[in-house]
A and B are shown apart, each in its own frame.
Chain A
Amino acid sequence: MFAYILKRILYAIPILIGVNLITFMLFFMVNTPDDMARAQLGAKQVTPQMIEAWKADKGYDKALFLNKEAKGLEKVTDTLFVQESMKLFSFDFGYSDANRNIGAEIKERMGPSLAIALPTFMIALITNISLALLLVLFRGSALDTSMMIVAVMIMSVSGLFYIIAGQVLFSKMWHWVPISGYEPGWGGIKFIILPILIGVFAGIGSGVRWYRSIFLEQINQDYVRTARAKGLSELKVLFVHVLRNGMLPILTGVVVVIPTLFMGSLIMESFFGIPGLGSYTIDAINSQDFAIVKAMVFLGSVLYIIGLILTDISYTLFDPRVKL
């Protein structure tokens, strides 16, 4: 397994270089360093001297991919792309255009993102699997049909609607929880209840339908009949045997998501005033802060690759036939 993980990590390097290359190309196609300087300086009259000074200060005065003035290997190495990429690979995210330490900011913002994402993920997982098993239990009944219709309805509505409706109902009309905000520690529970509930509810439709289809594939297997023949209750059959055998496809979709939970939710964090990484990325894009954008894209890619490796490893844990 160790050799496999090492191989995957080595594969990840060209992938990350590629992601970085695309990020650089896309960003600088839309924003030239001069545009960035103008946006960051914020002055009404930006003079060429101001732009040049800003670029020199931030290192954007270097050539992007090919330094024609340099000699030998430096033509490639003395460029913005190589120098910035090298820093990223050593997880040195540097400073934002507003001179904030990006690494420290990411650490600080991971907590709030996880405070929403982790409970939402866990509760949604348990709820969706439980509901899906329940529907499998009552498969073919009126309850099953009506719940499937409700699931499709939930899926069809935009997540933004649930956020606004939730805020209006639970906070504005019924005054149960604050409409938005965040506080670290236990005192912050009142702020995260609503976004978690909305996150869980918005995902119920797709989640339940997906898990239901997985479990329905299992329900007519021989081992289920054997379990029933042994006299096990229908609940035990579903929640122990069917669930365990349905785990492999569930893991494919679930484990890969776990590392990316750190990245937070863009819309949810924005509407609920959660100072997480989702809103950090959006703010950086809006303010053309390339230092943050490249750091977040890089981090997202790394986490996704970690997720894929974890998924492969988890297969071996749930299915002894799988060897890495």
Chain B
Amino acid sequence: MKMIILKVFLFMMILEPLPADVWNNPHDSEKIATQTLFSAFSMPPKRLDPVVSYNANEWAIIGQIYEPPLQYNYLKRPYALEALTLKEMPALTYYDLEGRLVDENDAHIAFSEYRLRLREDVKYQDHPAFVKDANGTLFYGKLSEEALENIQTLDDFEKQATRHLTASDYAYAIKRMAVRQNHSPILDNMAEYIVGLKAFSQNITKIAEEKKRTKEVLDLRAYNIAGVKVLSDHTLSIRIKGKYPQFIYWLSMYFFSPIPWEADLFYQQKGMKGKNLTWNWSPVGTGAYYLVKNDPSREMVLKANPNFHDERYPSLNEEERNSSNIPRELLSDAGKKLPFIKEVIYTLEKESIPLWNKFLQGYYDASGISSEAFDQAVQISASGTMDLSSEMSQKGIVLKGSVQPSIFYMAFNMEDPVVGGYSESAKKLRQAISIAQNQEEYISIFMNERGIAAQGPIAPGIFGHLDGEKGTDKVVYEWKSGKRVRKSIEVAKRLLAEAGYPEGISMKTGKQLKLHYDATATGPDDRALMDWRRKQFAKLGIQLVIRSTDYNRFQDKVRKAKVQIFSWGWNADYPDPENFLFLLYGGNAVVNTNGAGINSSNYQNPEFDKLFDEIKIMSNSPQRQEKIQKMLTLVREDAPWVWGFHPKSLALTHLWFKNVFPNAMANNTLKYKRIDAKLRVEKQKEWNQPVLLPLVLFVLLLVLSGYFLHKLYLNRQKAVIKQER
């Protein structure tokens, strides 16, 4: 027996160092050696219909498939728009009420008109909807239920075809947006601007209802919006009311992606919905990629669109490179044809631990950093700078970080009789609380330093945001020796006393000031955060009562202004200060809009509102900057929000993943990225050699157990026989 054990052990020792194939590879091993990107998604996208989709996880997919007229330059900073399917940026002209052409600074501007001239070489991905017979009618335009019986996916259609993009496809998309039954989230907003859209929407919604009742298809080509005109096959004009410079940013969003009428009619056919062949699940675009597999419960696969038009990797001149702070290696592919990656496989990973471990094994090319993995991935120096841990550095992993165009803040309900209002005492109470909320401590404890303390509503990288002393909130901070320093708690206490609450005791009632904080923090994990929040108020002698509730009730309370203090957040739609400052515009207050407004704190300052109306229609200029600074001074004094923080997004990429440059505004960035597949194969093999020793030990244990159990059984058998006798 001893000899057997010794022999097995020796065998193990020989076996152990032998290089073996990789066993734990979750992907197709052939694809690893090709230009295939392996990525993950944690929440299945619900809608891929560009007219409806408004979530980051949905845009991550449709951003690669659809092409609105404009896009953000991948490399330029500050963010800059450029033509995508257009020949050049839209030409903008202004008209007065009589239809006369006027200057952009004219006081009588009644309409703005955007003229879009499309490229002529843009083609859709191949799709059965485009197939026509010899007579020019749609080949799959009238499918019977029998014909659909054997169809499960678009690949089951024998024929596929393509066609060129035309201006009417963009017009069709706006018409689809107008159909209320399509649930476009921006319809009500756009109806305020696009001439004729509101009336068109009301009319077409009724028609759509009728068509649904009579089970007829709705062909939107037969209807027109007054302000949207197809001037030629490749020219479109969109007329909007008044002057709204931010409209140009909307033209880079996916709501304005082209919709080919053939596909719309194709998907409306009876039986298509039952097979999940709808706009929501089978996009038809002109982008660099097309969706070949859509199984949101497991895997989504994109492939490079063979019909993709000629687009090149961007190049920057030296001056632009320096101003955008672009590393030189990011420009090594400048001028090369896009896309580089030929296939993208997104796998559903709901839990962060498997996702993180697969990234470390090299099976995902990039990863975010979850809070569980933060300490393993990142080390923070005493000065607060972030760097990769030695384990990550040894693997050649690269850390990419950028401040997001977002803000998370704590708001006061300005309608509240205690913390709200515009009296001196109310202002001082809010200012005192703002000083006492140590955001730097919050970022350090709860955010792993992944954020920067906000000085106002506008996020860094957006026009209107200033760094240094000029950008400092002088109500909450002091500028000392070239640094921003939070004012002492003594200053806050003094303000509180001036507000009528010395040491947190109300001079009117003689009782301790008790404030209520509404939150959705109901889990045990939120306890530390709520304790911290209470502590910040306790520094001033104020008692904070936390009112935790579920998200639905919380939203409802905010909409009805039945809150006192609460936390909220905002992600910018486009890089313009208007998209942040409108959160404090009186016209958007929830109390003025029956709960639909975006100004949840109900801040209403006529001076601020007047300035907002002015900056809203101005182009970026020193004058606009000056007015924005005035607005910021007003809101800092009034303190309707404790400014909170702007989150920093961190991402890790492997050395073989090239051309990765964070761009918070653009979603169609896959086409710029590249994989060094050879290096990936090498590293995956190196990092994932199976360890055989435990397997051999386990087998040995089984054999030994079997042997001893057999012996034990024989003894037992004898004992039972004896006992029975």
| A and B held together in a complex | yes
List residues of A whose CB falls within 8 A of some B CB. Answer: 30-32, 35, 38-50, 53-54, 57, 95, 97-101, 104-105, 108-109, 112, 134, 137-138, 141, 143, 164, 167-168, 171-182, 190-191, 225, 228-229, 233-235, 270-273, 275, 279-280, 283, 287
Does the CB pair B44–A283 fall under 8 Å? yes
- Among the stretches B68-76, B274-282, B540-548, the one at the interface with A is B274-282
List 3 A-B pairs, minimum CB-CB distance, nearest first: A43-B185, A275-B297, A178-B26
A273 touches B695 (CB 8 A): no
| B713 beta carbon closer than 8 Å to chain A | yes
Q: Are B185 and A41 in contact (CB under 8 A)?
A: yes
Assuming the contacts A38-B555, A172-B357, A176-B695, asked whether A43 and B186 have C-beta atoms less than 8 A apart, the reply is: yes
Given that A35-B552, A41-B185 are contacting pairs, would A271 and B354 also be in contact in the complex, using a CB cutoff of 8 Å? yes
CB neighbours of A143 from chain B (8 A): 712
Chain A positions within 8 Å of B363 at CB level: 178
What is the distance, in angstroms, from B681's C-beta to the closest C-beta of chain A?
16
With A35-B555, A45-B596, A180-B351 already in contact, 17 other A-B pairs whose C-beta atoms are closer than 8 Å? A30-B552, A31-B552, A44-B54, A44-B185, A46-B185, A53-B180, A98-B47, A134-B709, A172-B361, A175-B23, A178-B26, A179-B26, A179-B354, A179-B361, A225-B724, A271-B353, A279-B350
* B717 located at the interface, meaning its Cβ lies under 8 Å from any Cβ of chain A in the complex: yes
Cβ contacts under 8 Å, A234 to chain B: 713, 716-717, 720
Which residue of the partner chain A has the closest CB to B209?
A: A56
Given the known inter-chain contacts A138-B716, A174-B690, A280-B297, please indicate yes or no for A41 contacting B276, CB distance below 8 A.
no
B347 near A181: Cβ-Cβ < 8 Å: yes
Contact B354 A228 (CB under 8 A): no
- B residues near A43, Cβ cutoff 8 Å: 54, 185-186
**A180 near B185 (CB under 8 angstroms)?**
no
Give the total of B residues in contact with A, Cβ under 8 Å: 65
Docked-complex contact B594 and A48, CB < 8 angstroms: yes
Question: B690: which A residues are within 8 A, CB to CB?
Answer: 174-176
Which residues between 333 and 353 of chain B lie within 8 Å of chain A, taking CB atoms?
347-351, 353
- The answer to whether A178 touches B350 (Cβ under 8 A) is no
**Residues of chain B within 8 A of A31, CB atoms compared:** 552
Contact with A along B48-83 (1 / 0, CB 8 A): 000000110000000000000000000000000000
Chain B contacts for A177, CB-based, 8 A? 23-24
Contact in complex: B181, A176 (CB < 8 Å): no
Q: Which chain B residues border A99 with CB–CB below 8 Å?
A: 47, 273, 278, 280-281
Give every chain A residue within 8 A of B713 (Cβ-Cβ): 137, 234-235
Tally A-B pairs: CB < 8 A.
168
Q: Using a CB-CB cutoff of 8 Å, which residues 142-201 of chain B contact chain A? A: 180-181, 183, 185-189
Q: How far is the CA of A178 from the CA of B28 in the complex (A)?
A: 12
Q: When chains A and B are docked, how far (Å) is the Cα of A190 from the Cα of B354?
A: 15
List, in ascending order, chain A residues with CB within 8 A of B24's CB: 171, 175-179, 190
Bound Cα distance from A104 to B297, whole angstroms: 13
Q: How many angstroms from the CA of A164 to the CA of B372 in the assembled complex?
A: 13
B180 with A167: CB separation less than 8 A = no
- Nearest A residue to B297 by beta-carbon distance? A275
A101 touches B275 (CB 8 A): yes
A selection of 13 A-B contacts at a CB cut-off of 8 Å is A38-B552, A42-B54, A42-B185, A44-B598, A49-B180, A50-B180, A101-B276, A176-B24, A176-B695, A180-B26, A182-B298, A191-B26, A270-B351
Q: Which one, A50, A108, A168, contacts B188 given CB within 8 A?
A: A50
Please, which residues of chain B bring their CB within 8 A of the CB of A180? 26, 349, 351, 354, 358
Return chain B residues, CB-CB under 8 Å to A50.
180, 183, 185, 187-188
Whether B567 is near chain A, meaning CB under 8 Å from some CB there, is no
Please report the C-alpha to C-alpha distance between residue A236 and residue B26 in the assembled complex, in whole angstroms.
Answer: 44
Chain B residues with CB below 8 A from A173, complex form: 691
Chain B positions 293-312 with a Cβ under 8 Å from a chain A Cβ: 295, 297-298
Q: Given A53-B181, A138-B716, A275-B348, do A179 and B22 touch, yes or no (CB 8 Å)? A: no
- Min Cβ gap A44→B in Å is 7
Q: How far is the CA of A46 from the CA of B351 in the complex (A)?
A: 30
The distance from the CB of A183 to the nearest CB of chain B, in whole angstroms, is 9
CB distance from B477 to the nearest CB of A (A): 30
B694 at the interface (CB under 8 A from A): yes
Nearest B residue to A225, CB-CB:
B724
Q: Which residues does chain A contribute within 8 Å of B467, judged by CB atoms? A: none
Residues A109 and B297 in contact, CB atoms below 8 Å apart: yes
B688 within 8 A of partner (CB): yes
Q: Is the CB of B357 within 8 A of A179?
A: yes
A109 to B298, CA, bound (A): 10
- Cα A114 to Cα B431 with chains together (Å): 60
A29 to chain B minimum Cβ distance, whole angstroms, is 11
**Cβ B353 vs Cβ A101 within 8 A:** no
- Whole-angstrom distance between the alpha carbons of A97 and B688 in the complex? 42
A40 cross-chain contacts in B, Cβ below 8 A: 46
The reply on B633 being an interface residue by CB < 8 A is: no
**Residues of B with C-beta under 8 A to A171:** 24, 357
Is A229's CB under 8 angstroms from B281's CB? no
Query: Contacts of A191 on B, CB cut-off 8 Å?
Result: 26
In the assembled complex, the Cα of A114 lies from the Cα of B573 at a distance in Å of: 43
The contact of B25 among A105, A137, A141, A178, by CB within 8 Å, is: A178
Q: Is B550 an interface residue (CB 8 A)?
A: yes
Residue of A nearest to B40 (CB): A273
- Interface flags for B350-370 (1: CB within 8 Å of A; 0: not) read 110110011011010000000
Chain B residue nearest to A164 (CB atoms) is: B353
- Whether a CB of chain A sits under 8 angstroms from the CB of B689 is yes
A32 contact set on B, CB distance < 8 A:
552
Which B residues touch A47, using CB under 8 A? 188, 596
Contacts of A35 in B (CB 8 A): 552, 555-556
CB-based contact A101/B596 at 8 Å:
no
| A109 to B296 CA separation, bound complex (whole angstroms) | 11
Bound together, the chains give a CA A98 to CA B43 distance in angstroms of: 13
Known A98-B280, A138-B712, A228-B720; contact A45-B598, beta-carbon cutoff 8 A: yes
The 8 A CB mask of B258-293 against A (1 = contact, 0 = none) is 000000000000000111101011000000000000
